[in-house]
């Protein structure tokens, strides 16, 4: 896992303050323990990819909000984030390609799963839709406990407001794009 980032800590603090939530209330909304949320806010712990997804879902914000945005020559943030979230224990790397766009209501990631890696995702907000496109390797996509094997060049679109997961049962890394569309607020 990467070192704790000040941006993740500051973003979590900002979200809690904006909602007026205590750590206890944030814990109930996200499913992440108060102790872990406090450690993340203080920069003492860096969340796993799965934990960060839970936090984003609980606050009903985009995942890419937790990535620092690159600026173009001192101007406003570019649409691509420059941080990469590496969760070595889970065998997963997430690279934002396009940070959340409030007009188009989507974000796009390049995700890599090491051989044997598995990532479970709790349901996102109602109406969230994911598009997964396999670039290299073989990906198992789990929806409601059923697994669908996808090979290079194959794609699936699914309602992400239900249990879903990704796993790599192959002997080499699998790389895929994940485009996430959020409903209008």
Q: What is the CATH number of the domain that holds 174?
A: 2.60.120.10
* pLDDT level of residue 53 (50, 70, 90 thresholds): confident
| Residue among 144, 87, 156, 150 at smallest CA distance from 119 | 87
Under DSSP, is residue 102 helix (H, G, I), strand (E, B) or coil? coil
Show the tokens assigned to 65.
């909000």
| Residue among 130, 117, 101 at smallest CA distance from 175 | 117
Q: What is the pLDDT of residues 59-113, one digit of tens each?
A: 989 888 888 664 444 444 455 556 788 888 889 999 999 989 989 999 999 999 9
Which pLDDT score is estimated for 69?
62
Single pTM value for the model: 0.83
Residues 53 and 85 in one domain: no
Residues 97 and 44 in one domain: no
Q: What is the DSSP string of 105-164?
A: TEEEEEEEE-TT-EEEE---STT-EEEEEEEES-EEEEETTEEEEE-TT-EEEEE-SS-E
Which pLDDT score is estimated for 74?
45
Residues 109 and 31 in one domain: no
Instruction: Report the distance separating Cα 142 and Cα 166, nearest Å.
Output: 6
Q: Are 41 and 8 in contact (CB under 8 A)?
A: no
Residues 98 and 158 in one domain: yes
Residue 54 placed within a domain: yes
In sequence order, the 6+-apart residues with CB closer than 8 A to the CB of 167 are 113, 117, 118, 119, 139, 140, 142, 147
Q: Which domain holds residue 86?
A: 80-181
Which pLDDT score is estimated for 90?
86
CATH number at residue 23: 1.10.260.40
Q: What is the pLDDT of residues 152-164, one digit of tens each?
A: 999 999 999 998 9
| Residue among 63, 112, 121 at smallest CA distance from 88 | 112
Residues 50 and 86 in one domain: no
Residue 170 placed within a domain: yes
Q: Burial letters for 139-157: b for 16+ Cβ neighbours within 10 Å, e otherwise?
A: bbbbeeeeeeebeeeeeee
Residues 90 and 169 in one domain: yes
Which pLDDT score is estimated for 146?
95
The domain total for the chain is: 2
């Amino acid at each position: 896992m990467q070192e704790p980032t000040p941006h993740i800590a500051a973003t979590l603090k900002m979200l809690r303050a904006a909602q007026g939530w205590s750590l206890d209330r944030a814990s109930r909304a996200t499913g992440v323990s108060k102790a872990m949320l406090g450690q993340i806010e203080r920069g003492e712990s860096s969340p796993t990819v799965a934990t960060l997804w839970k936090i984003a879902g609980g606050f009903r914000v985009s995942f890419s909000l937790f990535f620092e945005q690159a600026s173009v020559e001192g101007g406003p943030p570019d649409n691509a984030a420059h941080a990469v979230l590496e969760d070595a224990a889970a065998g997963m790397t997430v690279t934002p390609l396009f940070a959340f766009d409030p007009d188009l209501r989507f974000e796009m990631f390049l995700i890599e799963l090491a051989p044997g890696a598995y990532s479970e995702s709790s349901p996102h907000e109602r109406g969230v839709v994911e598009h997964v496109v396999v670039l290299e390797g073989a990906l198992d996509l789990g929806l409601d406990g059923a697994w669908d094997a996808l090979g290079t060049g194959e794609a699936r679109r699914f309602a992400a407001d239900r249990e879903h997961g990704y796993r790599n049962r192959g002997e080499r890394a699998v790389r895929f794009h994940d485009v996430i569309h959020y409903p209008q607020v």
